[in-house]
Amino acid sequence: MKNSRFARTAGWLAVPCLVAAGLLAWYVTREPVSRLESPPITVADIDPALVARGEYVARLSDCVACHSVPGGAPFAGGLEMATPLGAIHATNITPDPETGIGRYSLPDFDRAVRHGVAPGSRRLYPAMPYPSYAKLSDDDVRALYAFFMKGVAPVNQANIPSAIPWPLNLRWPIALWNGVFVDAKPYAANTSQDEVWNRGAYLVQGAGHCGSCHTPRGLAFNEKALDESGTPFLAGALLDGWYAPSLRDDHNTGLGRWSEPEIVQFLKTGRNRHAVVYGSMTEAFNNSTQFMTDDDLTAIARYLKSLPGDRQRDGAPWQYQERSAAVGSQTPGAHTYATRCASCHGLDGKGQPEWMPPLAGATSALAKESASAINITLNGSQRVVAAGVPDAYRMPAFREQLSDQQIADVLTFMRSHWGNQGTAVEAQAVGKLRDHTDPASSSPIILQMR
């Protein structure tokens, strides 16, 4: 009697379970709907003006930085990217029909770029920044497609398979991740703001994918906010051994002390009186931001300046305090600073703007995270190439000359002088980054698109 009631209950329970399993299976295998099904585009008919527009959108989006390797053919793929699950490689996105995306229709391309699903329901890892590209407008996706089909030379080069082991390499769970973390709708204008602000928001959130480095990530490696409605948006984040600082109006660790024209200058020329581009920002500068029009850079600066800072996170406002480093000083790090660093950054920490950045008031000297200061001191910086000219002055690598303790001491010194209030740097933290990073290559990493 009891048993049969159990069987009946179990039977009834099985129905919703099966329905749920069916829905799940449908959900994870369904192709997202592209808004660009019609009118269809015939590649032969693509207008050269649309190809040129698409080339600019590709610049805004920095597709080349991941989909090419120095010395390789443009967009033929190959760059290795670390993910929490293991290494993957960016793929060949030249119009080669065998190894590239030559057989993609416009809707196929749209589904890959804005929804992260390649043909055959193959879910892409979000190392491809589709959570940001989801904001791209229909027109910009059409233009991008035109550029990749007609402006890029086809290259036959097989993709490198991912090194992620089974079962972590199963791709269907990415569909669930997308369901939770990706808002797959194009950018919608905020009507309470003007056109310049909206253009800036569109560029920063969408094509520029600035948040993929500058926004902190959650436990599932998701960016904690994808637009200004969340306060973690662009609040500063650690990625690949670099700290990409806050781009909000934080006085110390963000852009609070930068004017709008100074932000434009940094993104256009790679330097201003506050800072010089280095670390992973170099690839965004070399291959993307310097090619943006002045109007677009102004829009970006306008938008960034509208994002409020957080006084609690940021600390008491930095103010310069006169203090000179001295050769032979007994303060740990002071002697190293005076003999190894002061020739460029000055005994007074003020540098020689706009060529040698100040360390007094530098983000890397004020932020809690010391990764960028350690990394650049160990490894130096990649070459910045502005308007085709590699810069003459660069931060040298001290990996061979200084021990972990010496680097920790000199950085603790620079983070606690001239009004700087960064935390002390431990030798252990230097050792850890020493093991996991390489000296910056001296060849300029500027990648051709054609």
Residues 301-360 that bind ligand HEC (CB under 6 A): 340-341, 343-345, 356-357, 359
Exactly one of 157, 372, 412, 416 binds ligand HEC (CB under 6 A); which one?
Answer: 372
- Closer CB to ligand HEC, residue 10 or residue 87? 87
The nearest distance, CB 304 to ligand HEC, in angstroms, is: 6
CB 27 within 8 A of CB 21: no
Exactly one of 76, 182, 244, 264 binds ligand HEC (CB under 6 A); which one?
Answer: 244
The nearest distance, CB 118 to ligand HEC, in angstroms, is: 4
- Closer CB to ligand HEC, residue 135 or residue 345? 345
The nearest distance, CB 6 to ligand HEC, in angstroms, is: 45
CA 64/CA 285 separation, integer angstroms: 12
> Is-cis flag, bond preceding 354, omega within 30?
yes
- Closer CB to ligand HEC, residue 8 or residue 185? 185
- Closer CB to ligand HEC, residue 245 or residue 419? 245
CA 372/CA 236 separation, integer angstroms: 12
The nearest distance, CB 46 to ligand HEC, in angstroms, is: 15
The nearest distance, CB 152 to ligand HEC, in angstroms, is: 10
- Closer CB to ligand HEC, residue 73 or residue 275? 275
Exactly one of 393, 426, 437, 449 binds ligand HEC (CB under 6 A); which one?
Answer: 393
- Closer CB to ligand HEC, residue 164 or residue 231? 164
CB 250 within 8 A of CB 309: yes
CA 39/CA 159 separation, integer angstroms: 31
- Closer CB to ligand HEC, residue 76 or residue 373? 373
The pair of structure tokens assigned to 192 is: 């309470």
Exactly one of 68, 157, 265, 364 binds ligand HEC (CB under 6 A); which one?
Answer: 364
The pair of structure tokens assigned to 381 is: 């910086």
CB 254 within 8 A of CB 264: no
Q: Which of positions 278-297 make contact with ligand HEC (CB under 6 A)? A: 278-281, 283-284, 289
The nearest distance, CB 193 to ligand HEC, in angstroms, is: 18
Exactly one of 34, 61, 68, 370 binds ligand HEC (CB under 6 A); which one?
Answer: 61
Contacts of residue 206, defined as CB under 8 A and 6 or more positions apart, other chains included, come to: 132, 133, 134, 135, 136, 187
Q: Does 91 bind ligand HEC (CB under 6 A)?
A: yes
The nearest distance, CB 232 to ligand HEC, in angstroms, is: 16
Q: Does 412 bind ligand HEC (CB under 6 A)?
A: no
Q: Which of positions 257-276 make contact with ligand HEC (CB under 6 A)? A: 263, 266-267, 275-276
The pair of structure tokens assigned to 27 is: 């959900």
Q: Does 242 bind ligand HEC (CB under 6 A)?
A: yes
Q: Which of positions 185-224 make contact with ligand HEC (CB under 6 A)? A: 204, 208-210, 212-214
- Burial of 240: CB neighbours in 10 Å, binned 0-12, 13-18, 19+: middle
Q: Which stretch binds ligand HEC (CB under 6 A): 47-55, 150-158, 222-230, 393-401?
A: 393-401
CB 66 within 8 A of CB 213: no
Q: Does 73 bind ligand HEC (CB under 6 A)?
A: no
Give the C-alpha distances (Å, rounded to integers) separating 173 from 27, 90, 124, 128, 247: 10, 20, 11, 16, 32
Exactly one of 252, 363, 379, 412 binds ligand HEC (CB under 6 A); which one?
Answer: 363
The pair of structure tokens assigned to 112 is: 């890959």
- Angle at Cα 320 formed by Cα 315 and Cα 326, nearest 5°? 120
Residue type, 353: P
Q: Which residue has the tokens 């490198």?
A: 160
CA 49/CA 62 separation, integer angstroms: 20
- Closer CB to ligand HEC, residue 2 or residue 161? 161
CA 1/CA 320 separation, integer angstroms: 84
CA 61/CA 56 separation, integer angstroms: 9
CB atoms within 10 A of CB 444: 17
The nearest distance, CB 12 to ligand HEC, in angstroms, is: 41
CA 397/CA 442 separation, integer angstroms: 11
Q: Which of positions 100-159 make contact with ligand HEC (CB under 6 A)? A: 101, 112-113, 118, 124-125, 127-129, 133, 144
Exactly one of 115, 142, 248, 394 binds ligand HEC (CB under 6 A); which one?
Answer: 394
Exactly one of 264, 300, 334, 447 binds ligand HEC (CB under 6 A); which one?
Answer: 300
Find the length of the chain: 450
Q: Does 96 bind ligand HEC (CB under 6 A)?
A: no
